[in-house]
């Protein structure tokens, strides 16, 4: 199997339009979650992490004269363009594939009269994906991964397998989702939305805060594409599991997430030598409790862990990519980030949750995600 | 031992075929809901979760029941060694539209949970106690080559001992389901792109 390196990354979120802007804001403990009063989305005020539309459109106009792209497509294109600008990758090569991770894609078009002026087929994820490869002139048909909230991590694991087996040299993994009336009303119908910024793992947690954004990372077996001055990080192992328990509630024991974690760790050959866990931490009662049990089952309860949802909310299919990029940055910079919103533990098993930004040598990190449909995913990043 | 397609099931045009043999044919004008209920009834076991499912999951569920019959994959291979690789064109758009039609009035949590294509994987895992690797991909059309390569890799690298490949599409009353079981055994059709394509188009 070929070694799969994580090269350049980009994040577009409420905290900024580059990975650097996002990381700096997070280091300072800033959150992009704000109170919004938009009756188009919900009949009452709600907390969410939203991307600045004015800046999005301004940045897009600077990149392209053709502005006939949806809001989410603009995010994908800007995010990929930033990665390409920082990389020597030949995006038009037959050795390069685009993987798009998304839960709902252009679902906001359903909410607009006449689909916002776009053809109806733009609701189809493959059509949305074709718009993006078309913009960059990529040769290969893009691969769309749509697995609820593990879409992002699964995109990275899929890329690792496709590069590891030599089918492609480079895979650009991009994950994106929007906050919309569709998603807000849905999570609200489940009574899963928090009426204040989310507090993962905290005793006072009240549920999810939704976020929107896009993350893009270049994965490659070509180490010439890595930034020379930086620590080399590789995708060392990854796995997926299913709870086989309930379609909208997580496992009661956490054994299945632990199974994915243990399989990923075995593939990465790192034993329990993990320096940091970027967990899912949605701040719902059931999710956080399940994760606490899972990390206990896996024997990882002592390892420093955070949830990034307090910074930019739950970005659904984008979350796994965005949070993996932050995890890789954490490793390159040797800086641990706090788990924003956490004060006192509200889960039944012990977890070592980070409270403040601190310097720490981080050579191995685990990223996990879980989602509707009972799916769990885990990926291990290691420095070379 | 070879990596083979050990059984397959096709549901389209109100007809169900298992391993090339027709097991049910209904009139084309029968509503989908009645057709799929008739198909469900052919499998004797009552499974009340079926009635809560959206049409896309009902289609996937019925196809998996015909494919697996009394085959207890989780017991035979271990729950974590059975994988599901599924794909379609329209994701969950059929139910997305149905859900969104309830939003202005009273948003339905029972519909919202089905607005993700991978829910069908969860339903099949719950029914068959499968805990292995699952993935849902979106393609413009059936991609035999990708699914064949991916399943072959999972088995070759010992990440799975059995894989169910699925194409389950449904939008605006048009539907198409094709499931096949991949195992390592001496009996079956060799898993190749050509064979997968051929079985899908029969």
pLDDT tens track for A84-120: 999 999 999 999 999 999 999 999 999 999 999 999 9
pLDDT of residue B202: 83
Q: Does domain B2-201 fall into CATH 3.10.110.10?
A: no
The CATH number of the structural domain formed by A233-383 is 3.40.47.10
Confidence class of residue A10 from pLDDT cuts 50, 70 and 90? very high
How many contacts, defined by CB atoms under 8 Å, are there between A and B?
141
Pick among A241, A373, A376, A377 to test the B interface (most B CBs inside 10 A): A373
Half-sphere exposure in the Cβ direction for B129 (13 Å, CA): 9
Q: Which of chain B's residues have a Cβ under 8 Å away from the Cβ of A123?
A: 93, 96
> Is the CB of B116 less than 8 angstroms away from the CB of A248?
no
Establish if A147 touches chain B: CB-CB under 8 angstroms.
yes
Average pLDDT, chain A: 97
pLDDT of B44 over the 80 cut: no
Q: Which residues contact A40 (CB under 8 A, 6 or more apart)?
A: A111, A181
Q: In chain B, which among 150-169 make CB contacts under 8 A with chain A?
A: 150, 153, 159
> Is the CB of A244 less than 8 angstroms away from the CB of B118?
no
Q: In chain A, which among 19-38 make CB contacts under 8 A with chain B?
A: none
Cα separation of A63 and A262, whole Å? Answer: 43
Q: For residue A18, count CB atoms less than 10 angstroms from its CB and return exposed for 0-12, middle for 13-18, buried for 19 or more.
A: middle
Q: Report the gap between the CA of A232 and the closest CA in chain B (Å).
A: 26
Tell me which residue in B107, B136, B146 faces A147 most closely, judged by beta carbons. B136
Establish if B113 touches chain A: CB-CB under 8 angstroms.
yes
Average pLDDT, chain B: 96
pLDDT tens track for A166-184: 999 999 999 999 999 999 9
pLDDT of A271 over the 90 cut: no
What is the 3 state secondary structure string of chain A?
CCCCEEEEEEEEECCECCHHHHHHHHHCCCCCEEEECCCCCCCCCEEEECCCHHHHHHHHHHHCCCCCCCHHHHHHHHHHHHHHHCCCCCCCCCCEEEEEECCCCCHHHHHCHHHHHCCHHHHCHHHHHHHHHHHHCCCCCCEEECCHHHHHHHHHHHHHHHHHCCCCCEEEEEEEECCCHHHHHHHHHCCCECCCCCCCCECCCCCECEECEEEEEEEECCHHHCCCCCCCEEEEEEEEEECCCCCCCCCCCCHHHHHHHHHHHHHHCCCCCCCEEECCCCCCHHHHHHHHHHHHHCCCCCCEEECCHHHHCECHHHHHHHHHHHHHHHHHHCEECCCCCCCCECCCCCCEECCCCEECCCCEEEEEEEECCCEEEEEEEEEC
> Is the CB of A145 less than 8 angstroms away from the CB of B99?
no
pLDDT of residue A357: 94
Q: State whether residue B139 is helix, strand or coil.
A: coil
Establish if A362 touches chain B: CB-CB under 8 angstroms.
no
Confidence class of residue A345 from pLDDT cuts 50, 70 and 90? very high
Establish if B174 touches chain A: CB-CB under 8 angstroms.
no
pLDDT tens track for B98-137: 999 999 999 999 999 999 999 999 999 999 999 999 999 9
Confidence class of residue B42 from pLDDT cuts 50, 70 and 90? very high
Pick among A98, A189, A284 to test the B interface (most B CBs inside 10 A): A189
Cα separation of B32 and B48, whole Å? Answer: 19
pLDDT tens track for B182-196: 999 998 999 999 999
Establish if B146 touches chain A: CB-CB under 8 angstroms.
yes
* In chain A, where the domains are located: 5-225, 233-383
> Is the CB of B134 less than 8 angstroms away from the CB of A240?
yes
Establish if A167 touches chain B: CB-CB under 8 angstroms.
yes
Q: Which CATH superfamily hosts domain A5-225?
A: Thiolase/Chalcone synthase (3.40.47.10)
pLDDT of residue B43: 85
Q: Which of chain B's residues have a Cβ under 8 Å away from the Cβ of A171?
A: none
> In terms of DSSP H, where are the helices of chain B?
32-42, 55-68, 73-77, 93-103, 109-112, 119-128, 144-156, 193-201
pLDDT of residue B151: 97
pLDDT tens track for A63-88: 999 999 999 999 999 999 999 999 99
Distance of CA A374 to the CA centre of its chain: 18
pLDDT tens track for B127-138: 999 999 999 999
Residue of chain A with shortest Cα separation from B140: A126
Q: Which residues contact A293 (CB under 8 A, 6 or more apart)?
A: A253, A254, A348, A349
Establish if B100 touches chain A: CB-CB under 8 angstroms.
yes
């Amino acid at each position: 199997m070929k070694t799969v390196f994580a090269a350049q990354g980009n994040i577009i979120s409420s905290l900024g339009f580059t990975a650097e802007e996002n990381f700096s804001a997070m280091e300072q403990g800033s959150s992009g979650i704000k109170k919004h009063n938009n009756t188009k989305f919900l009949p009452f005020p709600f907390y969410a992490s939203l991307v600045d539309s004015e800046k999005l459109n301004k940045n897009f106009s600077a990149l392209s004269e053709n502005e006939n792209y949806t809001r989410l497509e603009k995010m994908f294109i800007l995010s990929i363009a930033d990665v390409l600008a920082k990389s020597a990758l030949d995006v038009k090569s037959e050795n390069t594939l685009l993987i798009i991770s998304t839960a709902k894609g252009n679902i906001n078009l359903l909410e607009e009269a006449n689909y916002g002026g776009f053809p109806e087929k733009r609701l189809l994820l493959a059509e949305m994906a074709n718009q993006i490869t078309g913009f960059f002139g990529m040769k290969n048909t893009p691969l769309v991964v749509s697995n609820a909230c593990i879409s992002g991590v699964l995109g990275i694991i899929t890329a690792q397998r496709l590069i590891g087996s030599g089918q492609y040299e480079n895979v650009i993994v991009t994950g994106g989702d929007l906050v919309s009336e569709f998603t807000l009303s849905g999570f609200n119908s489940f009574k899963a939305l928090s009426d204040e910024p989310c507090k993962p793992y905290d005793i006072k947690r009240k549920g999810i805060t939704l976020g929107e954004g896009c993350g893009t990372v270049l994965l490659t077996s070509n180490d010439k594409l890595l930034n020379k001055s930086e620590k080399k990080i590789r995708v060392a192992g990854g796995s997926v599991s299913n709870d086989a328990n309930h379609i909208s509630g997580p496992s009661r024991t956490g054994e299945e997430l632990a199974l994915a974690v243990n399989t990923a760790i075995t593939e990465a050959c790192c034993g329990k030598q993990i320096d940091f866990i970027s967990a899912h931490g949605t701040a719902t009662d059931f999710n956080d409790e399940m994760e606490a049990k899972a990390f206990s089952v896996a024997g990882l309860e002592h390892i420093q862990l955070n949830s990034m949802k307090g910074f930019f909310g739950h970005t659904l299919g984008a979350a796994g990519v965005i949070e993996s990029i932050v995890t890789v940055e954490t490793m390159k910079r040797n800086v641990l980030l706090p788990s924003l919103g956490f004060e006192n533990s509200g889960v039944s098993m012990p977890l070592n949750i980070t409270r403040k930004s601190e310097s720490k040598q981080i050579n191995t990190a685990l990223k996990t995600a879980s989602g509707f449909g009972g799916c769990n995913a885990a990926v291990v990043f290691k420095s070379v | 031992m070879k990596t083979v397609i050990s059984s397959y099931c096709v549901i389209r045009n109100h007809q169900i075929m298992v391993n090339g043999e027709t097991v049910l044919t209904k009139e084309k004008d029968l509503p989908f809901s009645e057709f799929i209920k008739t198909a469900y009834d052919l499998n004797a076991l009552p499974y009340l979760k079926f009635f809560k499912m959206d049409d896309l999951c009902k289609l996937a569920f019925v196809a998996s029941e015909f494919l697996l019959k009394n085959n207890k994959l989780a017991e035979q291979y271990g729950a974590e060694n059975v994988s599901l690789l599924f794909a379609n064109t329209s994701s969950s758009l059929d139910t997305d539209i149905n859900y969104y039609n309830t939003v202005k009035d009273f948003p339905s949590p029972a519909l919202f949970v089905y607005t993700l294509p991978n829910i069908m994987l969860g339903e099949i895992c719950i029914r068959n106690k499968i805990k292995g690797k699952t993935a849902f991909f979106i393609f413009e059309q059936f991609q035999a080559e990708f699914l064949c390569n991916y399943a072959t890799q999972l088995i070759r690298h010992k990440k799975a001992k059995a894989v169910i490949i699925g194409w389950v599409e449904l939008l605006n009353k048009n539907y198409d389901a094709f499931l096949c079981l991949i195992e390592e055994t001496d009996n079956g059709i060799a898993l190749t792109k050509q064979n997968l394509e051929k079985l899908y188009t029969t």
